[in-house]
A and B are shown apart, each in its own frame.
Chain A
Amino acid sequence: MKYLKFLIVGIIFGIILVKSEAVSWYRIYEMFMFESFHMYGIIGTAVGTGIILLLITKKLKLKNTEGSLMSVPPKDRGLVRYLLGGSIFGLGWALSGACPGPMYILVGTGVFSMLIVILAAIIGTYFYGVIKDKLPH
């Protein structure tokens, strides 16, 4: 039962991403071609709404279900890892059309070849973990 709420959050997340077409390879291509406002509208309104929600949260000092102040953990400082890692992610995102959320969601829509992408992503993550200390961060 403890996990039921997370299951429901996941189900709603999956429904939103399919209904918004953000899981579509075509939509990602169109976004990078700057030929539609659709994806920018989704990301823009998500971030706009997110900023307002988090500002209100901070102002009202809202607490989470565990009883502590609601907050987002700060990202580590850095430049290279974000720019380089981000670019590598972007290459893969445009090629496979799927980021780590949609990958799973698309399996639910019946695209089982996406399991290959997921497996490759796990291997990519493993590879990062192995060579992490040799990379500039």
Chain B
Amino acid sequence: MEYILQPWPWYISGPLIAFIMFILIYLGKTFGMSSNLRTFCTIAGAGKKTEFFNFDWKSQKWNLTVVLGAVIGGYIAHFWLSNPVDIALNPNTVEQLSQLGFDNAGKSLLPPELFSWDAVFSLKGLLILIIGGFLVGFGTRYAGGCTSGHAITGLSSLQIPSLIAVIGFFIGGLIMVHLLFPLIF
């Protein structure tokens, strides 16, 4: 039990994620979390005006169920299966974050500077969450998948488009962290 309560090392977590992908393929589906964003648009009625959203969302009920499970899994892992321990970040990372204005990096899962209600109720904080989310939603559909669809499933099945997409993920991520973070924070 002690091992479960500690953070899991990468060599345990990585293969387990591959098994999630494998089980979904075994069940006749694919591992792709971003598709649910499109499904939500369709449920909200976007299919009436825009062809892209005109599909039978009920065919995606299984994936929405995975989402529901993921929320429950997040709750179980965080509240029942975790000892409160800091994230073992590189001390350099902690130092750089502190220079950007993020104190206590690694003391919680997410920086309160971005996700606390205080942050949300500031204009800048709200904009960061909205712009971040918008870019994820737009980019993932444009690229036809996210980390689960391209990085895990696509690379595992040796697909070149997914490799290009993952290279894109890193181009965007590196630009954000190295060039834009010093301007934003």
Residue on B with the closest CB to A91? B172
Chain A, interface size: which category?
35 or more
Instruction: Tell me if B's interface is mostly helix, strand, loop or mixed.
Output: helix
C-alpha gap A44/B155 in the complex (Å): 10
| Residue among B74, B77, B151, B172 making CB contact with A88, cutoff 8 Å | B172
Within 8 A of A (CB), among B129-185: 129-148, 150-159, 161-162, 164-178, 180-181, 184
B73 touches A10 (CB 8 A): yes
Instruction: Tell me if A's interface is mostly helix, strand, loop or mixed.
Output: helix
C-alpha gap A107/B55 in the complex (Å): 27
C-alpha gap A61/B107 in the complex (Å): 47
Within 8 A of A (CB), among B27-71: 27-30, 33-34, 36-38, 40-41, 44, 46, 50, 52-53, 61-63, 65-71
A contact residues around B19 at 8 Å (CB): 49, 53
Known contacts A64-B28, A89-B143: A25-B90 contact under CB 8 Å: no
A contact residues around B173 at 8 Å (CB): 28, 31-32, 90-91, 93-94
A95 touches B132 (CB 8 A): yes
A36 touches B135 (CB 8 A): no
A contact residues around B90 at 8 Å (CB): 30, 33, 35-36
Judged by a CB distance under 8 angstroms, whether B123 is at the interface is no
